[in-house]
Amino acid sequence: MEPHVGKKRENVTRSIRYIEEAARNGASLVVLPELANTGYVFADREEALALSEELSDGETTQIWGDAARRFGVYIVAGIAERAGKRLFNSAVFIGPTGVIGAYRKLHLWNDENRFFEPGNLGVPVFDTPLGRISIAICYDGWFPEVYRLAATQGADIVCVPTNWVPMPGQPADRGAMATTLTMAAAHSNGLMIACANRIGTERGQSFIGQSLIVGGDGWPLAGPASRDREEILYAALDLERARAGRTLNAFNHVLRDRRSDVYDPMLGTGWTSSPA
């Protein structure tokens, strides 16, 4: 998608058109970009505040909730969340019967630090009829801890609303580093990952598109999409296959082979939960 900053009504309306199209084509889970309703490049905190909404009863949540019910789909979508006086760069997770939960971006990128509070809901995993679903947003994907925490809590799918921007050092003839990070995280954890990026340029900041859906073996099932066109990517996610694929041979399992005994004492602590 190409949201336009400040044009909330227009952005949400276009998102509903795409959700409907995806649902008609068989989608059961739809992922929209980061800050899909508001746009990304706020001039200042006041602008972000004016565009933000309480998740429980905000207008955008209601409209997306209506769509989820009407089309029978699950939706993960980026939204500027107001919680009292605080703002979060959040994603709301909505199913056919209403809001399931929310995720608040843990790792804020650049000027987001001026507007938003760092996320305080951890890495939640939501148990749904579609599978166990976790959420990360954009720069969160630079931290392998996030995917590991999702996987060790039993997540099958991580939905990633994102607003990837060009990274320094990116060779013009190669795919985005974000693709590499996503594939590595999927492969190392046996996770399926669906990343929805935006396109376009907003107040001088360009975005790189290249949305993709990656299988539990780390190879793309769909995409990377183009850098500059709105489009919908589709993939069939096979939960049993991804779970079975974590067993690599008679000795190895990508999660159970973790050496918590080593990781923990070395740094005082570690990631010790067992895979579900």
Q: Does 209 bind a second copy (CB under 8 A)?
A: no
Please, what is the minimum distance in Å from the beta carbon of residue 134 to a second copy?
A: 12
Q: Does 264 bind a second copy (CB under 8 A)?
A: yes
Q: Is 240 a catalytic residue?
A: no
Please, what is the minimum distance in Å from the beta carbon of residue 221 to a second copy?
A: 11
Q: Looking at 8, 34, 159, 195, which residue is catalytic?
A: 34
Size of the site for a second copy (CB under 8 A): 58
Q: Is 34 a catalytic residue?
A: yes
Length of the chain: 276
Residue 53 DSSP one-character state: B
Q: Is 195 a catalytic residue?
A: no
Q: Which residues of 156-193 are buried (b: 16+ CB within 10 A; e: fewer)?
A: bbbbbbbbbbeeeeeeeeebbbbbebbbebbbebbbbb
Q: Among 145, 168, 154, which residue's Cα sits nearest to residue 271?
A: 145
Cβ closest to a second copy, residue 73 vs residue 178: 178
Contact 190, 246 (CB under 8 A): yes
Q: Does 262 bind a second copy (CB under 8 A)?
A: yes
Please, what is the minimum distance in Å from the beta carbon of residue 236 to a second copy?
A: 16
210 sits in the region (left: phi over 0; alpha: psi -120 to 50; else beta) called left
- What's the Cα-to-Cα distance from 244 to each of 136, 172, 217, rounded to whole Å? 24, 37, 10
Please, what is the minimum distance in Å from the beta carbon of residue 183 to a second copy?
A: 5
- What's the Cα-to-Cα distance from 15 to each of 36, 37, 78, 211, rounded to whole Å? 8, 8, 11, 16
Q: Does 227 bind a second copy (CB under 8 A)?
A: no
Q: Looking at 8, 53, 81, 105, which residue is catalytic?
A: 105
Rule CB under 8 A: choose which of 7, 273, 275, 276 binds a second copy: 273
Window 89 to 148, contacts with a second copy (CB under 8 A): 106-111, 113, 118-119, 122-123, 139, 142-145, 148
Query: What is the distance between the alpha carbons of residues 136 and 128, in angstroms, rounded to a whole number?
Result: 17
Q: Does 259 bind a second copy (CB under 8 A)?
A: yes
Rule CB under 8 A: choose which of 58, 65, 209, 218 binds a second copy: 218
- Angle of helix 177-189 versus helix 144-152 axis, rounded to 10: 30
| Partners of residue 212 on adjacent β-strands | 195
72 sits in the region (left: phi over 0; alpha: psi -120 to 50; else beta) called left
Q: Does 206 bind a second copy (CB under 8 A)?
A: no
Report, as residue numbers or ranges, the catalytic residues.
34, 105, 138
Provide the binding-site residues for a second copy, judged by CB under 8 A: 106-111, 113, 118-119, 122-123, 139, 142-145, 148-149, 152, 167-171, 174, 177, 180-181, 183-185, 187-188, 215, 217-219, 245, 248-252, 254, 257-259, 262-264, 266-273
